[in-house]
Structure 1
Amino acid sequence: MMGCVAVPELAPRRTLGGIVAVWVLAAVIAVVVGIFATPDWRAAWLGVGLGGCLIAGFATQLWSGRSQGFTERVAASVLGAALVMGVISLGFGLAALVPG
């Protein structure tokens, strides 16, 4: 079989790291907002932070260069970021109820 060269497929990049990176970014944003924002503005800044996580999720998944499962990976990034931010903001909300 002269002239037939098998080209190996390139190994796909790992996509779980990009999803977890957005979750870590969400945790950092939620803690910074919880510490520095006043309680009246905390929900608004968390919404802005979640928007930033959406953009970071898109950018991370575009950077990975894989089109298969793109929507699912972005959705997992943003949904996980929303859950992380929700749990952390719940913690700050419960801490505000405790007299101190």
Structure 2
Amino acid sequence: MTEPALAPRNAFVGVLVVWAVAFAASIGIGILVPEEWRVPWLLVAFGGVVLLSFAVQLWYGRTQGYILRVAGGALGALLVMGVISVGFGLAALAT
């Protein structure tokens, strides 16, 4: 039987890392990729962010709340990337 950790790491930090990577990836894609290729690259980046969410939470090493943390990371990344892509889409319409 294993003993519980006295001071476990904060699980929310891993979710915030995934959101930050999603933010940086979507801003980078929006600036560096031509308009007609943005959506496919955002889909590729989102797939990478979902895999990163799994990896970060597996690295965390706690089974309690694993699915909830992975879902929170992936859903938050989807919302972050969606809002930023809407911003770039509206900017493309304005020009």
Same fold (TM over 0.5): yes
Residue 73 (str. 1) matches residue 66 (str. 2): no
Partner of 1:5: none
> Are positions 1:85 and 2:85 aligned together?
no
**1:81 maps to amino acid:** A
CA–CA distance in structure 1, aligned partners of residues 78 and 94 of structure 2: 25
Structure 1 unpaired stretches of 5+: 1-7
Return the match for 2:90 from 83, 91, 94. Answer: 94
Query: Quick one: percent identity of the two aligned structures?
Result: 49
Structure 1 runs (4+) greater than 4 angstroms displaced: none
Deviation digits for residues 10-30 of structure 1, max 9, x if unmatched? 122110000011000000000
Task: Give aligned pairs, total.
Answer: 93
TM-score (norm 1): 0.88
**What is the root-mean-square deviation of aligned Cα atoms in Å?**
1.4
Determine which of 42, 49, 69 is the counterpart of 1:46: 42
Aligned counterparts of 2:72 and 2:4: Cα–Cα separation in 1: 26
1:15 aligned residue:
11
Structure 2, gaps ≥5 residues long: none
Q: Which of 11, 30, 33 lines up with 2:29 in the alignment? A: 33
Residue identity matched to 1:35: I
TM-score, normalised to structure 2, is 0.92
Q: Larger % of helix: which?
A: 2
